[in-house]
Amino acid sequence: MLIQTNLPHCTLRSWKMEDKAALIYNANNRHIWRNLTDVFPHPYTEADAEFWITFANNAAPSIHLAIALDGIAVGGIGIIAGEGITRHTGKFGYWLCETHWDKGIATAAARSMAAHVFSGSLFERLEAQVLAWNPSSMRVLEKVGS
């Protein structure tokens, strides 16, 4: 899967095993980990990266993609499908390498992901839970929802 965002150098694409080193390098960061759910490990090991890349490509109807800048994986974005009566609700999540924060990248990624899934028939609603100390993520969601 490949989704072009409104930033020319930024795409969303399927994870590849070749992303392993970049994934470990970018994800092994407590400032990212402390804002995510328990499925995101710390420290982020080689085994964690191998598990994630395999899992991400076999998670349908959930969608997990790499955020890539000029082809290099610098973050992740995903929508976890609900079950039963919440099957049309997706839980939105995303993270980005800290050196690229505050450049509008997560907003571009989240906007494109939302547009992509709302153009299909499965997801009718997206929701996200944000920790109280994370105004940056709240702002991303505000911008995507407006």
Ligand X SMILES: CC(C)(COP(=O)(O)OP(=O)(O)OC[C@H]1O[C@@H](n2cnc3c(N)ncnc32)[C@H](O)[C@@H]1OP(=O)(O)O)[C@@H](O)C(=O)NCCC(=O)NCCS
Binding mask 5-44 for ligand X (x = CB under 6 A): ---------------------------x--xx--------
Task: Give the DSSP H or E segment for 81.
Answer: strand 72-81
CB proximity list for 136: less than 8 A, separation 6 or greater: 101, 102
Query: Amino acid letter at 18?
Result: E
User: Looking at beta carbons only, is 112 or 137 nearer to ligand X?
Assistant: 137
User: Looking at beta carbons only, is 32 or 117 nearer to ligand X?
Assistant: 32
Query: Amino acid letter at 39?
Result: V
Question: Which part of the chain contacts ligand X (CB under 6 A), choosing from 9-17, 41-49, 58-66, 135-143?
Answer: 135-143
Respond yes or no on whether the N-terminal peptide bond of residue 41 is cis (omega within 30° of 0): no
Site for ligand X in 79-118 (CB under 6 A): 94-96, 101-107
